[in-house]
Amino acid sequence: MRLRHAVAALALAALGCRGERAEPRTLRINLATEPPTLDWNLATDGVSIIAIQQLMRGLTKLGEDLRPEPDLAASWDVSADGRRYTFHLRPGVLWSDGAPLVAQQFVDSWQRLLAPATAAEYAYFLFGIRGARDYNGGKLADFAQVGVRAPDAATLEVELAAPLVYFPALVNFMVTFPIRRELVERFGERWTDPGNLVSLGPFTLEEWRHEYRLVLRANPRYWAGRPPLDRIDAYMVQEGSTSLVLFEQGLLDLVRIPPLEIRRYEGRPEYVRKPLLRGYYYGFNTRRPPFDDARVRRAFALAIDRSQFPPLLRGGEQAWSSWIPPGMPAANRELGLRFDPGKARALLAEAGVDPAQLAPVRIVFNSDQAHKLVAEQVQAFWRDNLGVRVELAPREWKVFLKELANDPPPVFRLGWGADFPDPDNFMNLFTSYSENNHTGWANPRYDALVEEAAREPDLARRQALYDRAQRILCEEDVPIVPLFVTGANFAVAPRVQGFVPSAMDLFFFEKVSTE
Amino acid sequence: MIRYALRRLLAGIAVLWVVATVTFALLRVVPGGPFDKERVLPPEIMRNLERRYALDASLGEQYVDYLRRLAHGDLGPSYKYVGRDVADILAEALPASLELGALAFALAAAGGIALGLAAGTRRDTAVDRAIGLASLVGVSAPRFVTGAALILAFGLALDWLPAGLWEGPLYAVLPALTLAALPLAYAAQLTRAQVVAVMGQDYVRTARALGVPEPRVRRRHVLRNALLAVLTYFGPLLATLLTGSFVVESIFAIPGIGRFFVTAVTNRDYPLVLGVTLVYAAMVVVANLAVDLAYAWVDPRIRVGAEKS
């Protein structure tokens, strides 16, 4: 009897607390993991960027159509040769401590980003600037030789090594955001701690309980006006299913839906789906037989029926046979090899490969439920349509990466998400000199087309260049087989208004409000 | 007694040194490094990173440097969490694990002994069989199953308790139960077996024959002797529970150190792996020392034996 009373009291207490917790004008989201850093020069990952995007702004921002639009830069000019960009800063922008934004703060940031001692992983975002790569590699000691300067407080001049038509999209990325050098020097590595961190975006940092929660506060000095929310509580609930239960208990307002639960949410008003600029592909090691023969690679690509992946994975995937993802400029759904098992077998025979004699083909992927499902499906396609034996080899993540770098497996799975919404970010990946090209494939024609497209300001001509490059990549040489693009799936509480998901998987809460 | 404790303490420090060395070596054998990423870094950036974290030095130099820092209590910087020291990370995460672990330990110890005693002294009755069945389930169910079942029942179906987060006593109920279930059941089985064995001893029969009241027989003669074996289990158990559980802390979103046992390895965050391993090893050493001392206190034969040798 006493026990029953205790349980009832406990339950009442729990319910009592629950009612108070949903404070008005507070948004409770799940980051899933601890952001490795809030230092925007050093951050590289998808969690840190969620927090940093609320705290900071860049020269440009991305519009609905993913084109760069003015943000901290009110406008910019490009020289006739495409090598010189002049950004004119928006007047009257203040940091959260009241100090004004000046152009030198961008120069300071870029110098810190590129300095070898900073060891910033994403320093290469600015390698397009004259002298930047040499400065980062220690070959150039004087930063004055690097092509960036602030002739006055409102002007930032950038000189590129070669024309890059997508440069305004690059400076929307967090590593290029301005810094307050004097604060970084005063606080050292602690400059991003609450109390030390000064920012100029819609929110400021109030609390950072590591591995648990970040609390952000509305910034009354934000140049575009104080946001409707008072505060954002960003929790770090690792387990997707726990996060969803907390959403259902009313303790979180915005969470990602784990793949297995998506079916349960489809059709409900809380469900939000967004296709991402993120491609999923299978790569071949083109230096080793049998995949050193383009006909064999084409045959294996033709034997895959991409339409089977979306119903298998159910995460909002979209079958896609070319490399530039839909939603990105120059994407083209007509390109790539379609499912044609008859043609696949003919090509294999033409290449002189007898499927019965072929040693088992090894597919290597990092251990994960979705990657395993895809690999099993591909295994079935190649067995049924080509008659080849396939073995699956899951690997721990870092072991997998090491193998890709040292001795790429015959077939491997990888993905790529857009850092900035320009086709160059995808197409550059398979140039002969890209560190991320694990296929061993090199085609000078492809390299030349991608380089030319990066300099080409005319959109129609650019599209034509990328179409030709994509034909080489996905129809002729086929070092990779693009399979599908992925999606993001969210549960959003009814009390949240104005949440717009982004194809880059970024989050902007400055226009979000709660009841 | 003090000399005995001191000698055990020195042995403990030697154990920690061995653990640090073996972990250091194993980490360098495992393929993949801290800065191997999906987006491969240009060579000059890789060199800058290796220089920053002194990974460009020879392995021998790195090892000597590590031990030298360790002797000063410096566990080094994390490679993953930029600008944070491993010591700070552990110091911030340890309290939640300690609170949860202590709670679960108290639950497991008190509950396990009580149930074991109840079952052992009522051998072959319905009570004994019910406790036996329950403890069998408790020992067999993995934590992620127990946790999920508790969340389903008390979180979703009844909506009495939060299914996660770490905001106060209410939030500790489900994770503590999940963490305690297995050791509680095991302690109950262990206690029951010991109680049954002790109940058949001559001195128990003698005590009863002398007319000692039954509750006193059970407390003084049965329980005290039965606990000796159970104590051996409690030492390492305390160390394990206090250093957090990856499964329980992940399921319930508790900011403890349990998660680092897995994520630090996945990230190849060498200093953090060494840090959590050493914390765990130190806890085990201390807990075992405490048990041995408690042993010596409970059973004078052990103390006398140690001093003679």
| Pair A129, B35: CB distance under 8 Å | no
B52 and A119 in contact by Cβ < 8 A?
A: yes
Query: Which pTM value belongs to this model?
Result: 0.88
Strand A513-514 relative to strand A496-497: parallel, antiparallel, unpaired? antiparallel
Closest CB to B31 among A42, A211, A398: A398
| Pair A310, A352: CB distance under 8 Å | no
* CA nearest neighbour of A441 among A400, A469, A462, A420: A469
B170 and A17 in contact by Cβ < 8 A?
A: yes
Q: Is B87 on the interface with A (CB under 8 A)?
A: no
Residues 6+ apart with CB under 8 A from B290: B235, B238
| Pair B131, B188: CB distance under 8 Å | yes
Which residues in chain A are closer than 8 Å to B43, comparing Cβ atoms? 435
Q: Is A235 on the interface with B (CB under 8 A)?
A: yes
Q: Give residue B236's pLDDT.
A: 83
Q: Is B206 on the interface with A (CB under 8 A)?
A: no
pLDDT at residue A13 is higher than 80: no
Closest CB to B40 among A398, A405, A415: A405
> Considering chain A, what percentage of its residues have pLDDT values greater than 90?
90
HSE-up (13 A, CA, CB side) for residue A314: 12
B44 and A212 in contact by Cβ < 8 A?
A: no
First-to-final CA distance of chain B: 13
| Pair B173, A10: CB distance under 8 Å | yes
| Pair A249, A14: CB distance under 8 Å | no
- The residues facing A29 across adjacent strands are A234, A254
Residue A102 in 3-state DSSP? coil
Q: Is B42 on the interface with A (CB under 8 A)?
A: yes
Q: Give residue A232's pLDDT.
A: 97
The nearest CA of chain A is from the CA of B141 a distance in Å of 19
Q: Is A119 on the interface with B (CB under 8 A)?
A: yes
What whole-number distance in Å separates Cα of residue A176 and Cα of residue A314?
Answer: 36
Q: Binning pLDDT at 50, 70 and 90, where does residue A12 land?
A: very low
Tokens of A316: 């909002």
Nearest residue of A to residue B49, measured between CA atoms: A119
Residues 6+ apart with CB under 8 A from B157: none
A211 and B80 in contact by Cβ < 8 A?
A: no
Q: Where are the beta strands (DSSP E) in A219-316?
A: 231-235, 254-256, 271-284
The nearest CA of chain B is from the CA of A1 a distance in Å of 19
What whole-number distance in Å separates Cα of residue A75 and Cα of residue A69?
Answer: 9
Q: How many contacts, defined by CB atoms under 8 Å, are there between A and B?
A: 160
Report pLDDT digits (tens) over A338-368.
999 999 999 999 999 999 999 999 999 999 9
pLDDT at residue A20 is higher than 60: no
Tokens of B144: 């992620």
Q: Give residue B217's pLDDT.
A: 87
Tokens of B299: 């059973």
Which residues in chain A are closer than 8 Å to B253, comparing Cβ atoms? 212, 235-239, 242-243, 246
Q: Give residue A444's pLDDT.
A: 97
Q: Which residue has the higher pLDDT, A30 or B302?
A: A30
Q: Give residue A31's pLDDT.
A: 96
| Pair A52, A175: CB distance under 8 Å | no
| Pair A448, A432: CB distance under 8 Å | no
Q: Which amino acid is at B167?
A: E
A117 and B52 in contact by Cβ < 8 A?
A: yes
pLDDT at residue A19 is higher than 50: no
Helix (H) / strand (E) element for A216: namely strand A213-218
Report pLDDT digits (tens) over B198-231.
988 898 889 989 988 988 888 888 888 888 888 8
Residue A28 in 3-state DSSP? strand
Q: A460: how many CB neighbours lie within 10 A of its CB? A: 8
Per the document, the length of chain B is 309
A36 and B92 in contact by Cβ < 8 A?
A: no
Which residues in chain A are closer than 8 Å to B148, comparing Cβ atoms? 241
* CA nearest neighbour of B257 among B131, B89, B135, B137: B89
What whole-number distance in Å separates Cα of residue B246 and Cα of residue B252?
Answer: 10
Which residues in chain B are closer than 8 Å to A399, comparing Cβ atoms? 30-32
Closest CB to A435 among B31, B41, B148: B41
Residues 6+ apart with CB under 8 A from A144: none
| Pair A73, A149: CB distance under 8 Å | no
Report pLDDT digits (tens) over B171-205.
999 999 999 999 999 999 999 999 999 988 898 88
Report pLDDT digits (tens) over A162-217.
999 999 999 999 999 999 999 999 999 999 999 999 999 999 999 999 999 999 99
Q: Is B157 on the interface with A (CB under 8 A)?
A: no
| Pair B170, B183: CB distance under 8 Å | no
Report pLDDT digits (tens) over A225-263.
999 999 999 999 999 999 999 999 999 999 999 988 999
HSE-up (13 A, CA, CB side) for residue A149: 11
What whole-number distance in Å separates Cα of residue A254 and Cα of residue A499?
Answer: 9
Q: B126: how many CB neighbours lie within 10 A of its CB? A: 8
Mutate to test the interface with A, among B41, B56, B165, B166 (most CBs of A within 10 A): B165
Average pLDDT over residues A375-380: 97
Interface of A with B in 369-408 (CB under 8 A): 396-403, 405
Name the average pLDDT for chain B: 89
pLDDT at residue B76 is higher than 50: yes
Interface of A with B in 185-224 (CB under 8 A): 189-190, 192, 209-212
Q: Binning pLDDT at 50, 70 and 90, where does residue A15 land?
A: very low
DSSP B40: P
The torsion region of residue B81 among left (phi > 0), alpha (psi -120 to 50) and beta comes to beta
Q: A515: how many CB neighbours lie within 10 A of its CB? A: 10
From A180-184, B5-9, B136-140, the region with the lowest mean pLDDT: B5-9
Name the average pLDDT for chain A: 93
A14 and B166 in contact by Cβ < 8 A?
A: no
| Pair B131, B115: CB distance under 8 Å | yes
Q: Where are the alpha helices (H) located in chain B, listed in sequence order?
A: 2-29, 43-52, 59-71, 86-121, 126-140, 143-150, 169-199, 202-209, 214-216, 224-242, 246-251, 260-266, 270-298, 300-308
DSSP A178: -
Which residues in chain B are closer than 8 Å to A400, comparing Cβ atoms? 32
Q: Give residue A86's pLDDT.
A: 98
Q: Give residue A215's pLDDT.
A: 97
A212 and B255 in contact by Cβ < 8 A?
A: yes
Nearest residue of A to residue B252, measured between CA atoms: A242
What whole-number distance in Å separates Cα of residue B150 and Cα of residue B104?
Answer: 15
Q: Binning pLDDT at 50, 70 and 90, where does residue B297 land?
A: confident
Dihedral in degrees, nearest 10, Cα atoms A499, A501, A506, A507: 10
Q: Is A445 on the interface with B (CB under 8 A)?
A: no
DSSP B221: I
CA dihedral (B279, B175, A32, A512) positive or negative: negative
> Considering chain A, what percentage of its residues have pLDDT values greater than 70?
96
Residues 6+ apart with CB under 8 A from B261: B244, B246, B276, B280
B48 and A210 in contact by Cβ < 8 A?
A: no
Answer whether the bond into residue B255 is a cis peptide, omega within 30°.
no
Q: Give residue A372's pLDDT.
A: 96
B250 and A239 in contact by Cβ < 8 A?
A: yes
Average pLDDT over residues A437-448: 97
B151 and A118 in contact by Cβ < 8 A?
A: no
CA dihedral (B204, B207, B213, B215) positive or negative: negative
pLDDT at residue B131 is higher than 80: yes
Radius of gyration of chain B (CA): 24
Q: A234: how many CB neighbours lie within 10 A of its CB? A: 24
pLDDT at residue A16 is higher than 80: no
Nearest residue of B to residue A414, measured between CA atoms: B38
Nearest residue of B to residue A242, measured between CA atoms: B251
What whole-number distance in Å separates Cα of residue A110 and Cα of residue A41?
Answer: 8
Residue B84 in 3-state DSSP? coil
Q: Give residue B38's pLDDT.
A: 85
Average pLDDT over residues A370-382: 97
Helix (H) / strand (E) element for A148: namely strand A148-152
Q: Binning pLDDT at 50, 70 and 90, where does residue A384 land?
A: very high
A211 and B93 in contact by Cβ < 8 A?
A: yes
Report pLDDT digits (tens) over A122-176.
999 999 999 999 999 999 999 999 999 999 999 999 999 999 999 999 999 999 9
The nearest CA of chain B is from the CA of A196 a distance in Å of 14
Report pLDDT digits (tens) over B95-116.
999 999 999 999 999 999 999 9
Closest CB to B32 among A42, A119, A402: A402
Residue A308 in 3-state DSSP? helix
Which residues in chain A are closer than 8 Å to B30, comparing Cβ atoms? 398-399
What whole-number distance in Å separates Cα of residue A237 and Cα of residue A256?
Answer: 11
